[in-house]
């Protein structure tokens, strides 16, 4: 069915383009030394804060489909909410519900897993071991492990990826200790449940957007073949890495392989085994899924691939590409995104970011849909990210993005464009203050350039964010500075920069405004009524 938008009676938009800028990871902090946006030199943001047309938005918890107010938002659910114009239950919330109701264990897939386990095959679990609740949750892993024991599965192996990003940067032992304890307790009851391999999430397994396949290869070698530096336990591995480099943080720890008394890897994958990825977020689970499932895989040498592996994800990580083939919990069915409506109205648009966030302004924005909605009216641009630690190059590709955006605007072809600047989030995750400040200043400068050019073109610019990060570089506990690498729970700004503004509209009175209110606002500023089932616009016409 072709979607249709009604035109507004009193507003047709501006003569020039509508540009939507997402300052990824730049929220509203405390205006103190912990807040990079406050510390940095940000003349553009300072100017925007003086505008009449602005409001703060919630970007975490139920406002983006997550379970509770303590659940930090992330770029994936944030872009889903912005692009969909409504809130859908997401990741952790879907898994929590499925585990609570037991639906996850009633599926045909779970029965196949149990059948293999009872035939003596090993059930392998792989995922991010933390309670960050962004990619995974340790409680989900524990629930699945306990269900395996309850069902009589004899052999289980756990491959642990270390976080240090969505949780404290050196907190791995807080999660490894209870996991090893649980596995030991179950093994003491006649089972064989053990830790098998792991490593830091940024260097082992969890690459995304095909930025560096060597990350996936290190994980593949450790998880599947037992190739890597060997230790008697995961806790020994982490403690050793800490001792060897006092500045080492969890997300960058090298791979490790657990061996028995004979020095043999305890968790090599064998023919017919089951391999379950318990991450629920898709972007950093797709590539390892491809390595397990693609017959014509050629991104690295996988060696002797075990036969007849039953691989599955917690969720479907890519709905269009059907990755993976098997998954435990169905994903949200996100339909009628703002881009679908704009395409139906033949609104020429572009989307642009660098590799690290390219999927967010395309795949996640479009409701977890790969590729174009309508290539005749859309153009997507990816600026390739550098393959180095982000604090070493905090300007990332912001200048290149900006130059390309200005080039696109000057063609006069596009009515709408969306941009993601990744700096505040990606550099924010490093916890290094000076690079984070540089990242914020870089984005501020680039946003200023786009504002200036759009003003010359008689257009409008909306500036917002998908969640906070750089706005909270550290917290104080017992008078001690604790570096913070995770997203913040802070709200984000929403600014409307409209140089031709003449009082045609004002900020409305939406209760508890959030990211999902942005889509209706974009449509209004393009001269369209919002769809009936969209969340309310942030503006009202007078």
Token pair for 101: 């109701």
Sort 267 into a burial class: Cβ within 10 Å, 0-12 / 13-18 / 19+: buried
The C-alpha atoms of residue 491 and residue 69 are separated, in whole angstroms, by 12
CA atoms within 13 A on the CB side of 389: 13
Distance, in Å, from the CA atom of 161 to the CA atom of 131, rounded to the nearest integer, reads 12
Strands (E), 344-464: 349-354, 378-383, 416-421, 460-464
C-beta neighbour count of 393 within 10 angstroms: 16
Confirm whether 255 is a catalytic residue.
no
From 34, 75, 349, 385, active-site residue: 75
Under 8 Å between Cβ of 222 and 161? no
**HSE (side-chain half, CA atoms, 13 Å) at 477:** 6
- Which residue intervals of 1-103 are DSSP H helices? 36-39, 43-48, 75-84, 91-101
Do residues 24 and 423 make contact, with C-beta atoms less than 8 angstroms apart?
A: yes
3-state secondary structure 234-291: HHHHHHHHHHHCCCCCHHHCCCEEEECCCCCECCCCCCCCEEEECCCCCCCCHHHHHH
Residue positions annotated with a catalytic role? 75
């Amino acid at each position: 069915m072709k979607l249709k938008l009604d035109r507004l009676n009193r507003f047709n938009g501006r003569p020039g383009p509508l540009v939507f800028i997402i300052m990824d990871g730049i929220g509203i902090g405390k205006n103190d030394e912990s807040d990079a946006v406050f510390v940095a030199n940000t003349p553009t943001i300072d100017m925007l804060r003086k505008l009449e047309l602005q409001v703060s938005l919630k970007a975490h918890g139920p406002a983006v489909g997550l379970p509770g107010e303590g659940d930090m938002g992330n770029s994936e659910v944030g872009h889903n909410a912005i692009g969909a114009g409504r809130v859908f239950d997401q990741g952790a919330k879907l898994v929590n519900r499925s585990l609570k109701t037991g639906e996850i264990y009633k599926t045909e897939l779970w029965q196949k897993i149990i059948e293999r386990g009872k035939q003596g095959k090993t059930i392998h679990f792989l995922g991010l071991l933390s309670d960050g609740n962004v990619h995974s949750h340790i409680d989900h892993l524990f629930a699945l492990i306990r269900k395996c024991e309850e069902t009589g599965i004899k052999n289980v192996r756990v491959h642990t990826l270390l976080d240090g990003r969505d949780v404290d940067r050196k907190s791995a032992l807080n999660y490894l200790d209870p996991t090893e304890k649980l596995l030991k307790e179950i093994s003491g009851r006649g089972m064989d449940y053990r830790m098998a391999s792991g490593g830091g999430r940024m260097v082992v397994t969890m690459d995304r957007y095909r930025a560096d396949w060597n990350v996936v290869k290190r994980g593949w070698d450790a998880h599947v073949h037992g190739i890597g530096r060997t230790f008697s336990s995961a806790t020994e591995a982490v403690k050793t890495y800490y001792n060897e480099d006092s500045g080492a943080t969890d997300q960058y720890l090298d791979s490790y392989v657990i061996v028995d008394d004979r020095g043999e890897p305890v968790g090599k994958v064998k023919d017919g085994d089951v391999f379950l990825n318990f991450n629920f977020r898709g972007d950093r689970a797709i590539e390892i899924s491809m390595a397990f499932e693609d017959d014509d895989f050629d991104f690295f040498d996988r060696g002797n691939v075990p036969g007849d592996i039953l691989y599955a994800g917690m969720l479907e990580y890519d709905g269009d590409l059907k990755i993976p083939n098997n998954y435990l919990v169905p994903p949200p069915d996100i339909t009628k995104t703002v881009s679908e409506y704009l395409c139906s109205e033949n609104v020429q648009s572009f989307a642009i970011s660098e590799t690290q966030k390219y999927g967010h302004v395309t795949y996640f924005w479009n409701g977890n849909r790969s590729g174009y909605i309508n290539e005749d009216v859309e153009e997507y641009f990816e600026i390739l990210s550098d393959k180095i630690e982000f604090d070493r190059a905090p300007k990332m590709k912001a200048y290149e993005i900006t130059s390309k955006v200005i080039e696109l605007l000057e063609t006069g072809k596009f009515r709408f464009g969306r941009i993601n600047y990744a700096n505040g989030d990606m550099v924010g995750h490093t916890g290094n203050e000076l690079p984070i400040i540089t990242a914020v200043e870089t984005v501020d400068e680039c946003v200023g350039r786009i504002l200036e050019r759009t003003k010359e073109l008689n257009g409008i610019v909306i500036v917002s964010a998908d969640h906070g990060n750089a706005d909270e570089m550290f917290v104080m506990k017992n008078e001690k500075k604790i570096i913070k690498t995770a997203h913040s729970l802070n709200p984000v700004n929403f600014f409307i920069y409209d140089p031709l503004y003449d009082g045609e509209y004002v900020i409305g009175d939406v209760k508890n405004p959030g990211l999902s209110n942005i889509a209706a606002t974009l449509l209004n500023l393009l001269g369209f009524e919002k769809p009936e089932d969209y969340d309310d616009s942030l503006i009202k016409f007078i």
